[in-house]
Amino acid sequence: MTFCAAARKLSTLKQLSTFAASRYDIADLQLFRDADAASAAALLAACPVMLADEGETVSDSALPRLVIVLRGAVAETTGEGATTKILPGESGGEQSVLDVEADQSELTALEQSEILLIGPDLAWKLIDDSDGVARNLLRLLSFRIRAANMQLRRRQKLGEFYRQLSMNDGLTGLYNRAWLNDVLPRLAATAHTTHAPLSLIMLDIDHFKQFNDRHGHQQGDQALRTAAKVLAGALRPTDFAVRYGGEELMVILPDTNGTVAAGVAERLCERMREAVVFGDMRVPLPHMTASFGVACLGADQDDHALIAAADAALYRAKAAGRNRVEVAD
């Protein structure tokens, strides 16, 4: 069975004519530029020119073939999700002819299109008989690979952007619980391996519900943003600030012992008292305070135990009158 007969049998596309009987000129096809046009035209004469409607699949996994767009536009999507738009005169499906096992691409008509189908045996004959065709094919494949790689890099960067976005709290800009659950266990494991100290501060804005009730939830949100700025402005680049939940925030201090961490907490407590939530507030300062609990990772503790120790110290600070720092035993 000839390729053209096989194409008519397996493809759902409508055949309009053969290339020889069509109105198209081989000189307009990129693959044959600077090649022996007369001999190539003779070889292509019996190949079918098919009509593909918008959205119709052009590729056929049962029949590898080189596709040249004569009119319209076709999208070629690789197995990795990269998409290339093929315009009139350009070709697609090269991989299916060169390496059937490696080809995972799909060709889909973006609009009603006329396409020329070239079977693998004929494609190889064109390559073997014409240096120009081989050179053009290499050039097209090289361009296609570069374009696909650029798309993949952009998608990777976009994916990383959204991954980072999902790790930050939308209100305060601090890291969120998802980030904490991912990073703190690794920080604790590293601290145990390297025998370096790791400290954690938990803080809770005092009487936050009353603040919300008195000033409204929008100003409550502003209070949280202000508290986040206090943390961000007072920490080292190697430290981390997290919104643990609600009005409860957290500071992670790698390579920091409990004594130094307690000093950091005292500084944060003072800065929190001095922070101005909104400029036109007519309440005497200090108008926002916070309670702090400090813990340093013990030899037999994991990340959960470290959080529990800091939380217990925070509870003692609140029970002792708030607006103060307590250190875990």
Which of the residues are catalytic? 247
Q: How far apart are CA 146 and CA 77, in angstroms?
A: 14
Secondary element (H or E) of residue 315: helix 303-319
| Phi–psi pair at 86, nearest 5 degrees | -105, 120
- What is the number of other CB atoms lying within 10 angstroms of the CB of residue 153? 11
Q: Is 23 exposed, middle or buried (0-12, 13-18, 19+ CB in 10 A)?
A: exposed
Secondary element (H or E) of residue 14: strand 14-18
Closest CA to 50 of 24, 83, 85, 25: 24
Three-class SS of 55-80: CCECCCCCCCCEEEEEECCEEEECCC
Q: Are 198 and 187 in contact (CB under 8 A)?
A: yes
